[in-house]
Amino acid sequence: MRAILLAACLLLCAASASAEPPQCKRITQQQAHYQTLRDRAHAADNALWQDRLDQQLNYLRQERRMLGCPDAQAAFEAMMAQLRELVKLAAEGAATFFTGGMM
């Protein structure tokens, strides 16, 4: 049980430490918005709209690099790896608890 609580605390600390600065968060939200619009343009088969949205997404990527923002995808994958480890640890603890230490 202590191990599970320790893992949860570590996960929460890591998540709060990896919080994006406000300007990086704004860019991330804009990228998500323009990616949604780009998906709509692709579904509508509108090449001109797709090209314009690709230009905007490239601009936002450059702005993100200039500000020194962390890579959102890498941060997400790191967080998911930590979450997988936490779930694995919780499952092991639950198995031990519910089997009375047999596992």
Same domain, 58 and 25: yes
pLDDT recorded at residue 13: 53
Cβ(69)–Cβ(26) under 8 Å? no
User: Domain residues for 7?
Assistant: 1-18+72-103
Same domain, 29 and 41: yes
Same domain, 26 and 54: yes
Count of domains forming the chain: 2
Which one has a higher pLDDT value, 72 or 100? 100
Residue 71 is given by DSSP the state P
pLDDT recorded at residue 9: 56
Same domain, 82 and 93: yes
Which one has a higher pLDDT value, 24 or 52? 52
Answering whether pTM is above 0.75, one says: no
Question: Rounded to a whole number, what is the largest CA-CA distance in the chain?
Answer: 64
